[in-house]
Amino acid sequence: MRQILFSGAIGLFLTLIGTPLLIKLLARKGYGQYIRDDGPRSHGSKKGTPTMGGISFILATIIAYALTKVITSSDPTFSGVLVLFLFAGMGLVGFLDDYIKIVKQRSLGLRAKAKMAGQLIVGVAFAILSLNFADSRNQTPASDRLSFTQDFGWQIGPVIFVIWALFMILAMSNGVNLTDGLDGLATGASVMVFGAYTFIGVWQFQESCANQPTAGPACYEVRDPLDLAVVASALMGACFGFLWWNTSPAKIFMGDTGSLALGGALAGLAICSRTELLLAILGGLFVLITMSVVIQVGSFRLTGRRVFRMAPLQHHFELKGWSEVLVVVRFWIIQGMCVIVGLGIFYAGWRAAK
């Protein structure tokens, strides 16, 4: 358990002291946020705020994980490294997108096809690799069975699994990206979900089939649950430290560099911990905001009318007169309730199997 404490503390420390250095560097280079003309008018004051802040917590998370392994003299696992690969790979795609926005001074960044291609390459590589590297118990980082609180149903096969994993990765990375519209909103919500996955990893380790002489139906067949908790803790700590500088009024934005990376990490943790469908509840705020965009676009194309004043959903409430801080805090409360419900369902699933 020392690994979990070390990774979280190191991640927190690194972003607390490293983010202001990154802010100065980005400001000196003129890498400021480009604000869309069709957004809320109150966002005009944010123009020029340093972006690409995701670099801060991406590096902090990776360094925290590596230092934890050195300090505790423990070996990294394939599951942990794969989640970090997906995290950093999606962050690289987002970095390219942010860089083009800044250099070209256009809000669209990478062309849609190029951005999708980058996400597909990283996602497919993760999905394929996660079905390999079996341990002594023949457990691979991921399973080609669907999962809720643990695996269930028939095997769907590697091809369908890759498609399913890609859907999860794209959905969560773009979900966090859509949520990242107000100061601290996506960062704070992500901290809660990573905290939940830290708990899930510890619980799965304690109730692992590998640790029980007579494994029962309630035990978990997860390849490296403790190391997934270490990764989740590092992510939680790094995001917590970044939130100090990202909360209103934000001194730095995470950009697509951060939002795509965080979405990839969430999907990777869900896939490797065999809680794929549970992620829709644990990350309920991201799902809600994504659905608001789907509903808005679908309604406009079918009827020519808009359901919300503006999508994503957080901007609808801004245009209704809510202050930015009020929207963020209330949406954090919603996300907190989603995490509580998700963990309750996770525990209930374990109790039901006992």
Tens of pLDDT along 149-163? 999 888 899 999 999
Tens of pLDDT along 191-210? 999 999 999 999 999 998 88
CB 102 within 8 A of CB 32: yes
- Cis check: omega of the bond before 158, within 30 degrees of 0: no
Confidence of residue 211 (pLDDT cuts 50, 70, 90): confident
Q: Which residue has the higher pLDDT, 135 or 78?
A: 78
The pTM for the full model equals: 0.93
Measured CA to CA, the distance from residue 111 to residue 184 in angstroms comes to 27
Pairing status of strand 145-147 against strand 151-155 = antiparallel
Q: What pLDDT is attached to residue 38?
A: 53
Q: What pLDDT is attached to residue 338?
A: 98
Q: What pLDDT is attached to residue 46?
A: 64
Backbone angles phi, psi at 220, to 5 degrees: -110, 130
Q: What pLDDT is attached to residue 210?
A: 81
In whole numbers, what is the pLDDT of the chain averaged over residues?
A: 92
Kindly tell me the burial class for residue 64, based on how many C-beta atoms sit within 10 Å of its own C-beta (0-12, 13-18, 19 or more): buried
Tens of pLDDT along 13-63? 999 999 999 999 998 887 776 655 555 555 555 676 898 999 999 999 999
CB 222 within 8 A of CB 228: yes
Residues above pLDDT 70, as percent of the chain: 92
Beta-bridged to residue 220, according to DSSP, are 208
* Amino acid in the structure at residue 175: G
Asked if residue 351 has pLDDT above 90, the reply is no
Tens of pLDDT along 104-121? 766 566 788 889 999 999
Q: What pLDDT is attached to residue 142?
A: 96
Least trusted range by pLDDT, from 39-53, 134-148, 286-300: 39-53
- The dihedral built from the CA positions of residue 216, 347, 129 and 11, taken in this order, carries a sign that is negative
Residues above pLDDT 90, as percent of the chain: 78
Which pair of tokens denotes residue 45? 């004051």
Give the three-class secondary structure for 105.
coil
Query: Which of 48-57, 95-104, 283-292, 304-313 is the most confident on average?
Result: 283-292
